[in-house]
């Protein structure tokens, strides 16, 4: 099978049968296109030439170009999944990528902002929304929901009005792999949501709004890019390492939950992590914050 045909088939498999997001499918396509180009450089465009040696050489070539370990690890995962799918489709017994390994990604602690910084950020947004401006109320709702629930930006922009239960203080979220979960939020978020639904959303709504909860300036569903730009703009003045996008608020929510004594498995459920190991990184963040408090406060630190 030609690499291009195989990659198209595997992408459909990931999207339709595995329920992967469009973003993840694009990333896998990009990785496998790189593999196909590498194979073409060795005068082959057929997946029959796929071998452990070829895959190792491809990863080695990426390492020589100083690709990040996380990128190499993702490439390795893409190649293993692709090869396994090809093996099943062809009925072969041996999977050439079964023993493929990549460097373990560097473990970096996610960026988290303090409770005082979060309170200041929300207070500033609330002040801007005091006059009832629909866009300002919408922006406040976006930030309040991201922080109150810890949901992903794609989950936030995918919310419909009926997904929010103001009486039970919960929101129904469609997460990765089309898995649905119910996430709680607090009274402050409910207060803002009531204002948004009562005043801002009707002012922003248009014929194209449909059931979308959060609306853009033209009345359509608010996009992920707009949310990223909003959060990045708000966080750029707050000191701290790492990127300043919507995921910062997800990291912050998880860390503040653990700082407040929340059970790790409860945080896993709230965030929608398939593995507890993914959630455990936030325990390291909390420990680092504890150490920093100790270093600043203890006379013999």
The neighbour count for residue 80, using CB atoms within 10 Å, is 19
13 is catalytic: no
256 is catalytic: no
Annotated domain spans of the chain: 3-90, 115-296
152 is catalytic: yes
pLDDT (tens, 9 = 90+) of the chain, 301 residues, equals 899 999 999 999 998 988 888 888 999 999 999 999 999 988 888 898 899 888 988 988 888 787 888 888 889 999 999 999 999 888 877 898 888 887 666 566 677 888 999 999 999 999 999 999 999 999 999 999 999 999 999 899 999 999 999 999 999 998 877 788 999 999 999 999 999 999 999 999 999 999 999 999 999 999 988 999 999 889 887 876 556 788 889 888 988 888 888 888 888 888 888 777 777 777 766 666 656 655 766 566 5
Active-site residue, selected from the candidate residues 10, 20, 196, 282: 282
Q: Which residues of 241-265 are buried (b: 16+ CB within 10 A; e: fewer)?
A: eeebbbbbbbbbbbbbbbeeeeeee
Measure CA of the first residue to CA of the last residue in the chain; give whole Å.
64
CATH 1.10.3470, domain 3-90, yes or no = no
72 contacts 46 by C-beta, under 8 angstroms: no
Which tokens in the block code for residue 173?
A: 């979220």
Angle made by CA atoms 260, 122, 182, in degrees to the nearest 5: 55
Active-site residue, selected from the candidate residues 201, 250, 251, 256: 250
Work out whether strand 164-165 and strand 170-174 pair parallel, antiparallel, or are unpaired. Answer: antiparallel
Handedness of CA 202, 206, 212, 215 (dihedral sign): negative
Active-site residue, selected from the candidate residues 176, 221, 265, 291: 176
Give the predicted TM-score (pTM) of the model: 0.64
Determine the Cα–Cα distance for residues 293 and 279; give it in Å rounded to an integer. Answer: 23
Which tokens in the block code for residue 283?
A: 């325990």
Q: Class of 115-296 per CATH? A: mainly alpha
Which tokens in the block code for residue 24?
A: 């993840």
Which tokens in the block code for residue 198?
A: 């009562």
273 is catalytic: yes
């Amino acid at each position: 099978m030609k690499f291009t045909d195989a990659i198209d088939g595997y992408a459909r498999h990931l999207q339709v049968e595995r329920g992967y997001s469009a973003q993840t499918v694009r990333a896998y396509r990009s990785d496998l296109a790189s593999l196909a180009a590498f194979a073409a450089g060795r005068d082959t465009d057929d997946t029959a030439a796929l071998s452990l040696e070829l895959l190792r050489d491809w990863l080695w070539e990426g390492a020589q170009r100083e690709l990040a370990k996380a990128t190499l690890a993702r490439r390795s995962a893409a190649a293993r999944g692709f090869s396994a799918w090809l093996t099943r489709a062809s009925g072969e017994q041996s999977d050439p990528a079964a023993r493929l390994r990549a460097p373990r990604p560097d473990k970096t602690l996610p960026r988290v902002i303090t409770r005082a910084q979060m309170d200041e950020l929300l207070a500033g947004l609330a002040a801007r929304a005091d006059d009832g401006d629909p866009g300002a109320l919408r922006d406040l709702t976006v930030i309040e929901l991201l922080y109150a629930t810890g949901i992903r930006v794609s989950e936030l922009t995918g919310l419909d009005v009926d997904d929010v239960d103001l009486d039970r203080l919960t929101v129904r979220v469609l997460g990765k792999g089309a898995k649905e979960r119910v996430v709680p939020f607090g009274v402050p978020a409910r207060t803002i949501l009531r204002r948004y639904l009562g005043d801002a959303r009707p002012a922003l709504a248009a014929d194209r709004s449909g059931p979308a909860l959060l609306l853009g300036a033209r009345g359509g569903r608010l996009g992920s890019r707009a949310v990223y730009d909003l959060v990045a703009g708000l966080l750029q003045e707050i000191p701290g390492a790492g990127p300043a996008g919507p995921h910062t608020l997800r990291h912050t929510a998880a860390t503040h939950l653990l700082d407040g004594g929340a059970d790790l498995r409860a945080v896993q459920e709230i965030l929608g992590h398939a593995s507890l190991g993914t959630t455990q990184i936030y325990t390291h963040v909390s420990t680092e914050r504890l150490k920093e408090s100790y270093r600043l406060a203890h006379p013999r630190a």
